[in-house]
Amino acid sequence: GAGVSQSPSNKVTEKGKDVELRCDPISGHTALYWYRQSLGQGLEFLIYFQGNSAPDKSGLPSDRFSAERTGGSVSTLTIQRTQQEDSAVYLCASSLEDRQRLYNEKLFFGSGTQLSVL
Amino acid sequence: RKEVEQDPGPFNVPEGATVAFNCTYSNSASQSFFWYRQDCRKEPKLLMSVYSSGNEDGRFTAQLNRASQYISLLIRDSKLSDSATYLCVVVHYGGATNKLIFGTGTLLAVQP
């Protein structure tokens, strides 16, 4: 597709259940980011993937959160034993991250997954 | 203290007004700076990069002050369509890890 695709667009789950959120980045983009945005809040960095390098997981809020990126393309963010405070919009973004053009790097966001934990 | 700080607003201005937003950052090693725009219930989209010498794109002017560690966005002749949240973004580049840090955003409401 032409842009970053996320699925599902909305997810309602019960407290304690596991959820998986999917992100299809723009083809050829080497960098992939996950962010979380709570109502009225800014974007909270969760995790960053770049090519075959080890991901930067420094933003994951707890060990209930994990993410993987298979084949350098699709990424899945998994939240285990969901809690009500996990309710937020989860945004995925990708960029080409051409090292020659770093200072003009543009991040393309998907439309997000609205997660509601009841 | 947050790494990137912005006045959350809201800034309520009449059409045609000039409005300015500031953003401060704490990490002096930050290397790149951007302004993103986020419409209500939409994803953020890049508005403009911020260069050391300052740069302009139509009605929008961005400036960077490295010594004081702040960036600014000036919007001239505000339009109703400018109503949105403006997010300041600071980037650290380091080895295999690049990190984009977003401010919490400044809400602009342009009134007719």
- Smallest CA–CA distance, residue B63 to chain A, in Å, is 15
Q: What is the mean pLDDT of chain A?
A: 89
**A50-54: long-range contacts, CB 8 A cutoff, minimum separation 24:** A50/A97, A50/B96, A50/B97, A50/B98, A53/B96, A53/B97, A54/B96
pLDDT score, position B55: 93
Of the candidates A106, A27, A36, A107, the residue with the CA atom closest to the CA atom of residue A77: A36
pLDDT tens, residue by residue, A97-108:
765 455 556 789
pLDDT digits (tens, 9 = 90+) for A54-88: 888 989 999 999 999 988 799 999 999 999 999 99
Chain A residues with CB under 8 Å of B98 CB are 31, 48, 50, 97, 102
Decide: B37 and B89 in contact? Cβ < 8 Å: no
* CA pair distance A70, A81, nearest whole angstrom: 23
Q: Find tokens 């809040």 and name the residue.
A: A41
Say if CB B79 and CB B14 are below 8 A apart: no
pLDDT for residue A47: 92
**Chain A residues in contact with B44 (beta carbon < 8 A):** 43, 91, 107, 109
Q: Is the pLDDT of residue A42 over 90?
A: no
Q: Which residue is closest to B47 within chain A, CA to CA?
A: A106
| Residue B80 pLDDT | 97
User: Which of A97, A110, A112 minimises the CB distance to B98?
Assistant: A97
pLDDT tens, per residue, chain B with 112 residues: 788 999 888 999 999 999 999 999 998 888 889 999 999 989 999 999 998 888 999 999 999 999 999 999 999 999 999 999 999 999 877 655 667 889 999 999 999 9
Q: Which residue has the tokens 């740069």?
A: B55
Q: How confident is the model over A6-35, as pLDDT tens digits? A: 999 999 999 999 999 999 999 988 889 999
Residues of B with Cβ-Cβ distance to A105 under 8 angstroms: 32, 91
